[in-house]
Chains A and B, each alone.
Chain A
Amino acid sequence: MLNTRAPALELRLLTKAFGSLVACDHINMTLHAGEILALLGENGSGKTTLMNMIAGLYRPDSGDIFVRGIKADIHSPSDARKHGIGMIHQHFKLVDVFTARQNIQLGAGRDMSDRALNEKVRALGERFGLTARLDQKVYDMSVGQKQTVEIIKALCRGADILILDEPTAVLTPQESDRLFDILRRMKADGAAIIIITHKLGEVMALSDRVAILRGGRNVGEALTSKTNAAELTEKMVGQKVDLSIARPAMKQTPLFSMRNVSVRSADGVLRLDRVSFDIAGGEILGVAGIAGSGQKQLCECIAGLEPICGGEILFKGKNIAGQSPRQIYDIGVRLGFIPEDRLGMGLVGAMDVTDNLLLREYRLQPGFFIKRGPVRERARDLIKRLSVAPPDPSRPVGQLSGGNLQKVLLGRELLSKPELLITSYVVRGLDVHSSYVIYDLLNDCKLMGVGALFVGEDLDVLLELCDRVLVLCGGQITGLVNAKTATREQIGLMMVGQSG
């Protein structure tokens, strides 16, 4: 019998192991209708595994899931759907070449004719402020639009328990605010919502209750109104963490400048449009912007990986434009570069730490043969200094977690004593603890007189860590502000091309 007082979702002693790794360890959790629960936890704490069990992607090894008081056997995503559970994954599950309509109808069954769908979407628009152009192809959509389609898809299938996995990771501040508005209206309408996130600001602003996972266990729950960011972090990390990011003052010396640099992609689209700026030694220059506004091209043209079609790139007065990475090195430019996709560029996943360190220095060794001995020592040293786990220099780095991977990459780049450090989304996918280790390392560099370019996505971090923040929109610089005085809103407007 339907029990109206029963929680919308209840997890009892849910456990899931992968081989010897226990991802979720006897987790209990409840979620009520008309409630937003934030699920917090560092990388690898079991958040996504837990949600995937609810959504039917994994089967629990043991434990039960109750939906509205009734034990639910969830074996597949369609079982989950039958129970009214919808999940919005971090990587959207949409068919790119289909329209929004086709994606929503896909697998939805008979009662989803074009007319019924139009009616439904109109109703959703009125109730929650969700709007979508149904006949637009997914590949033509912005990230925010795609997410809206995902939410509509879930709601059209009758979901009233909604799980969102890091929904704001790819959104602009304005888009995030709109999403939160939608979620609040759905909550008021009686939906039960779980949101997985790393960003404490969002947790505080949006959720009613917080549950924290650490090492696969539920280590605590709290009402959002009765807790604060510091307390939550402490629970999440398991120790006290200072959440403020230092911004040491440093004497600045001229180092690097770009003059009217333009970059065109292979298909002729202008990716960078007459970009000019300076980075001083002892400065961290932040770069804000919606994903795909030219950040990648900006970083890669400095590193010599992307040809430019105009302008000058000057390092201590020497023009390095049009040079290959090797030539740039030979000119005497000491450049460290952390690309955004660590395993796609920068590291070789199948090779161990030692061989990845070799990448920068093998060429400097004399002769035909390679000497690994001294490099292996440096690898051990790096692992110890940055506490890379597991501390095994002969393990393929592809098996390391995101944070440890980043430590290896950053550690290697710092070993080459760079004067200019370019970092792109350096804390993406990293947990709080690892992120702060990285911020500290960047500040250490700054204090040694290194100039750093910090391409980031979290505006709070950009404003706290950097000295100045440059805003890119559609390949143009739409603003360059002093981080001590600028506000989030100001930068948010610049990100969409309105000067603040």
Chain B
Amino acid sequence: MAELKLSRARRLHRPRLVKRERINAAYAILQRIAAVALALLTGALFIRLIGFSPLQIYTGMLRGSFGSKVSLRETIKIATPLCICALGLAVAFRMRFWNIGGEGQMCVGAIAASWLALFHASIPRPLLLALMFVAALAAGALWGLIPAWFHAKYGTNETLFTLMLNYVAMYAIQALREGPWKNPRDMGYPKIAMFASNAQLPKVFGVHIGWIVALALVAAVAVYFRYTKQGYELTVVGENPNTARYAGMPVRRVVLRTAAISAAICALAGMLKATGADRTLTDGVAGGIGFTAITVAWLAGLQPIGILIVSFLFGALEKGAGFAQSTYKISTAAASVLQGIVLFFVLGCEFFVRYKVMFKE
């Protein structure tokens, strides 16, 4: 009897998680605001601890990301490839095809575009840029078909497959850099030449036109998901492949097509990054964007508009942290920690949007 009582007392205080029946939109927004506030508070503690003024660093970060035309442009420049890559991944994720290969697909797109930029720079600019655009899409689609084909044919695990292909693509750039594409003018230093101005993206409002492409893609992907037969098919295949078969959908073809589209969009992000921002091809062209894009896509609930907003905020955070780092001389690591703290709270709060903690049974 005593034992029973004890166990009862314990149970009353053990918290448990309950899935919310429906998510209250206003409450969710409130929760996210609270998460940001908590993140800022914790970040302030951290800044204090390493001997800086939180207020100064925070205003610096804000100024660094939105404060001037120049900083706003830089923010957009960071957000653009992130947004496009996240859109690409969202296409695959919606079909439950776990494309972790955004990095590699960006590299491949950049390589294809660079080949034209380096060796066919004499083509008139509009045509050259259009060709580079198409080449990146095609290369990405083919690259994406590799894991998809094996997945559809032999049921291989696409997560590992796409992940490993990242390294293949990245080291391919290094191989090109050290060998056939090495710039002889760099006196033995392994580097690929800068693109001719013909092969650089034009600017609109001071930022390369990649941002316009990103906006157009947000709209296109949103329409693709909601209003096309293909978008419907990929959703059904993702939700329930058996029902897709039942309805007579060509499941294998849908998988191949969707993976190709996903990879092609990611490759486009790589092409825009190389020709718009870097103006050359380096092995850092993806630089982790393909992985960050996974977070962005999920944080946005795979919704194109959400991806646009989240990638912009990510860009701002990165730009702001970079600015704080160079202006106030806090270390790179400390800037990364600040970014990490914000992400931790914001991602963590998504959990509490979906679940609630109960202290009573």
Contact = CB atoms under 8 A, between A and B. Distances in A.
Contacts of B231: 370
Interface stretch (A230-238, A270-278, A323-331, A382-390): A323-331
A349 B230 CA distance: 19
Given A365-B229, A368-B229, A369-B227, A326 B248 contact: yes
A325 B245 contact: yes
Contacts of A303: 246
Given A73-B4, A348-B240, A349-B240, A339 B246 contact: yes
A59 B228 CA distance: 48
Contacts of B114: none
Interface in B203-251: 227-232, 235-236, 239-240, 242-243, 245-250
A369 B225 CA distance: 10
B153 interface: no
B69 interface: no
B186 interface: no
Nearest to B20: A19
A300 to B, nearest CB: 9
Contacts of B8: 73, 75
A325 B251 CA distance: 12
Given A19-B21, A73-B8, A348 B239 contact: yes
A363 B236 contact: no
B228 A369 contact: yes
Contacts of B361: 59
Contacts of B248: 304, 324-326, 329, 363
B246 A345 contact: yes
B228 A305 contact: no
Interface in A303-355: 303-305, 324-326, 329, 337, 339, 343-351, 355
A59 B14 CA distance: 15
Nearest to B236: A348
Given A75-B8, A348-B240, A349-B239, A370 B229 contact: yes
Contacts of B249: 326
Given A75-B8, A324-B248, A363-B248, A345 B232 contact: no
B232 A326 contact: no
Nearest to B242: A345
A488 B7 CA distance: 52
Contact of A305 (B4, B7, B246): B246
A418 to B, nearest CB: 14
B249 to A, nearest CB: 8
A324 B228 CA distance: 23
A4 to B, nearest CB: 22
Interface residues of B, number: 24
Contacts of A349: 239-240
A493 interface: no
A370 B246 contact: no
A320 to B, nearest CB: 13
A337 B245 CA distance: 12
A97 interface: no
A326 B254 CA distance: 14
Contacts of B250: 326
B11 interface: yes
A368 B64 CA distance: 45
Nearest to A76: B7
B229 A348 contact: no
Contact of B227 (A305, A329, A359, A370): A370
Interface string B24-44: 000000000000000000000
B247 A351 contact: no
A345 B240 contact: yes
Nearest to B7: A75
Nearest to B223: A369
Contacts of B240: 343-345, 347-349
A351 B235 contact: yes
A362 interface: yes
A194 to B, nearest CB: 24
Most buried by A among B231, B236, B361: B236
B251 to A, nearest CB: 10
B239 A351 contact: yes
Interface in B128-163: none
A416 to B, nearest CB: 11
3 closest residue pairs by CB, A with B = A326-B248, A325-B248, A345-B242
Given A363-B248, A368-B230, 15 more contacts: A73-B8, A75-B11, A305-B246, A324-B248, A326-B250, A339-B246, A344-B240, A346-B246, A348-B235, A358-B232, A359-B236, A359-B243, A359-B247, A365-B229, A369-B229
29 contacts: A59-B361, A73-B4, A73-B8, A75-B11, A79-B4, A304-B248, A305-B245, A305-B246, A324-B248, A325-B248, A326-B248, A326-B250, A337-B246, A339-B246, A343-B240, A346-B243, A346-B246, A348-B239, A348-B243, A349-B239, A350-B239, A351-B236, A360-B247, A363-B229, A365-B229, A368-B230, A369-B228, A369-B229, A370-B229
Interface of B: 4, 7-8, 11, 21, 227-232, 235-236, 239-240, 242-243, 245-250, 361
Interface of A: 19, 59, 73, 75, 79, 303-305, 324-326, 329, 337, 339, 343-351, 355, 358-360, 362-363, 365, 368-370
